[in-house]
Amino acid sequence: MNKSAIHSSLQKGFIMEIDLISLVKTKGFEHFADKFGTESQCHELLFQLRWPDGFRCPSCGCAKHCTLKTRPLYQCNHCHRQQSLISGTIFQGTKLPLKDWFKAAYFLAHQKKLSALSLMHELKVSYDTARRVKRKLIKQHQLTTEKAKTAHRVNHLPIITTPL
């Protein structure tokens, strides 16, 4: 896993930046499908990236939490603040499954000139959705790569945060 592609933790008031294109570079599609082929695998990876030391409430810092059955939210047992796994990420507000985002990133990582039309056919989504996903992934890749280079020059840390 590319360490510069990962923001190690979410702090209150910061957006989590993940360079998904760098993260999913693998030897082949079969290897990719083994690692990121299911929604639960993608959720697990995103959980580990967001909370590497386990869930911590951004309001009170409590580690005890539960997951809601009706919606994909984590709720602090102490202050009852609800936190989504995808809030503050490029996935926020999306209805597209995470596995499709990961699949799109895989194709973008392995095909230099992937068109939105090709991505539309691969993901079986509308052209507008494919174009939006492609644009977000490429923009995040460029932003994170640039910030990683700057961070490396300054203090050799791969942690990247952006104020809200």
Task: Give the distance from CA 53 to its chain's centroid.
Answer: 17
Strands 73-76, 65-67: pairing kind: antiparallel
Q: Is position 124 within any domain? A: yes
Q: Is position 71 within any domain? A: no
First vs last Cα of the chain: how many Å apart? 27
What pLDDT tens digit does each residue of the chain (164 aa) get? Answer: 444 443 333 333 345 667 788 777 777 888 888 888 899 999 998 898 888 899 999 899 999 999 998 888 999 999 999 999 998 888 999 999 999 999 999 999 888 899 999 999 999 999 999 999 999 999 988 888 887 777 655 544 444 444 44
Task: Give the distance from CA 105 to its chain's centroid.
Answer: 10
Q: Is position 162 within any domain? A: no
The domain total for the chain is: 1
Q: Is position 152 within any domain? A: no
The reported pLDDT for the residue numbered 43 is 92
Residue 110 lies in domain: 3-53+90-147
